Chain A
Amino acid sequence: MAKHHIETTVNGDAVEFLCETEETLLDVLRDTLNLTGSKEGCASGDCGACSVTLDGRLVCSCLVLGCEVGGRRIETIEGLAKGEKLHPLQQKFLEHAALQCGVCTPGFLVASKALLERSANPTEHEIRFWLAGNLCRCTGYDKIVSAVQDAAATLRKG
């Protein structure tokens, strides 16, 4: 059957694309819209490397069909920095060495941003539970937690 014609918003830009029913939002972002920041780790919703927000709600883009997102508001890792200016979370991840290989990092950043939009001063417990769906094989997580706390402090100062 014919492909679906979808019009939606990605990082504030109106976009349109064609997709097959079985293509996920992650497939569309990476292969059609060339937004390759979101990564495919497990393709089963366990690792969080493909995290994006859909109308402000954190989701795994590997568990959303491309044909579901018409008229929605999608935010990806590519929308985090403003031009050359890094988001405080990105800056603090660098300062705290909260990444090594970097494959999980876009997902952690998108998920952490969603957390800080809901909770300006999260506890370590809150951060660890919120990020339980983001897996990292390199850092051991402590540096990520520190970076999120430091970024939260920066954002609170405004």
Chain B
Amino acid sequence: MRYEAPESVEGAVALLTAATGETRVLAGGTDLLVQMRADIVDPDLIVDIKKIAETRAVTEEKGGWRIGAAVTGAELKEHPRLKQVWPGVIEAANLIGSTQVQGRATLGGNLCNGSPAADSVPALIAAGAVATLAGPQGRRDLPVEDVMLGPRKLALRKGEIVVSFLLPPRPPRSSDAYLRFIPRTEMDIAVVGAGVSVTLDSGGTITAARVSLGAVAARVLLVQEAAQAIIGTRLDAPAQQRLEAAARAACRPIDDKRGTVEFRTDVAAVLTRRAALIALDRARTS
């Protein structure tokens, strides 16, 4: 098993493009090393992207924030500004695993692991985050909701890596929130995850919204009907009911030991409403 830690994006892309066997990109390793240990994957080449400065940086860009794919959850939490602007994204990233896992786990890894239950992905989708990919044909931007196609299936082409994410500029009176349900209070995989982002006008009416649901379908969903249900409202009771109905209608979950189809669908509606109320409250005071 070959290990390489290139210092440039081009170096990483060249290694992955030239490789003939099975390859894996290593960011935090909190999924990859577990899968290697369990003999689920046995890569011929591991490309560690953490020595590439771009993947480890958090920078302001055109009024938004660019977050490197290999920035850890612990680093995001300690960032002095991100938590104010994108509290939902930060709380979602910080729900992944334990303190120890937070010291290693990354947004890029959480997305590229290809799990529909990944906690940071609904929050990134609700935020309107765009992933910047680099590959042998150069760079391209892809909305986060288009990166994952299904369990363990990504839209990345051969030799392509996720370099960073761009969170868009935030208008005044905007905020977001992420909630998930797990059977215990820490250290578990989402049964349902709900991310909501809203922007209000000066009168408190929602002018823009994005809603995303995790763990209720084969991929993390952008639920446009749910956003439409609350845009133009002040999230009063009828709007909350329409939001719940839209969230429920979007669910196509599996039955497993963590939750039945009925349970996941009910919880998705409840969490979407609660996350929307938290986002609204934050937006009023932001």
Contacts and interface: CB of A to CB of B under 8 A. Distances in A.
Contact of A22 (B1, B5, B48, B186): B1
A129 B185 CA distance: 9
Contact of B34 (A45, A51, A64, A133): A45
B101 A60 contact: yes
Contacts of A134: 98
A132 B38 CA distance: 23
A104 interface: no
Given A22-B36, A132-B187, A65 B100 contact: no
A29 interface: no
Nearest to B48: A68
Given A63-B30, A64-B29, A133-B187, A51 B1 contact: no
Interface string A104-147: 00000001001100000000000001111110000000000000
A67 interface: yes
Given A21-B46, A54-B103, A133 B98 contact: yes
Given A4-B3, A64-B104, A58 B30 contact: no
A59 interface: yes
B103 A130 contact: no
A125 to B, nearest CB: 11
B68 to A, nearest CB: 16
A111 B100 contact: yes
Chain B interface: which size bin?
A: 20 to 34
A63 B187 contact: no
Given A4-B3, A21-B3, A132-B186, A65 B33 contact: yes
Interface string B2-37: 110100000000000000000000101110011011
Which of B29, B98, B185 has the most chain A CB atoms inside 10 A of its CB? B98
B97 interface: yes
A147 B261 CA distance: 44
Contacts of A21: 1-3, 46
Nearest to B32: A63
B1 A48 contact: no
Nearest to A43: B37
Contacts of A22: 1, 36
B3 A63 contact: no
B1 A130 contact: no
A45 B99 contact: no
Contact of B186 (A59, A65, A129): A129
A108 to B, nearest CB: 12
B103 A57 contact: yes
Contacts of A68: 5, 26, 29, 48, 50
Contacts of A4: 3
Contact of B100 (A43, A59, A67): A59
A48 to B, nearest CB: 6
Interface of A: 1, 4, 20-22, 24, 43-46, 48, 51, 54, 57-60, 62-65, 67-68, 111, 114-115, 129-134
The 10 closest A-B pairs by CB, nearest first: A133-B98, A132-B186, A21-B1, A21-B3, A57-B103, A59-B103, A60-B100, A44-B34, A133-B100, A63-B33
Given A63-B30, A65-B26, A129-B186, 16 more contacts: A21-B46, A43-B37, A44-B34, A45-B101, A46-B187, A48-B100, A57-B72, A57-B103, A60-B100, A60-B101, A60-B104, A68-B26, A68-B48, A130-B99, A132-B185, A133-B187
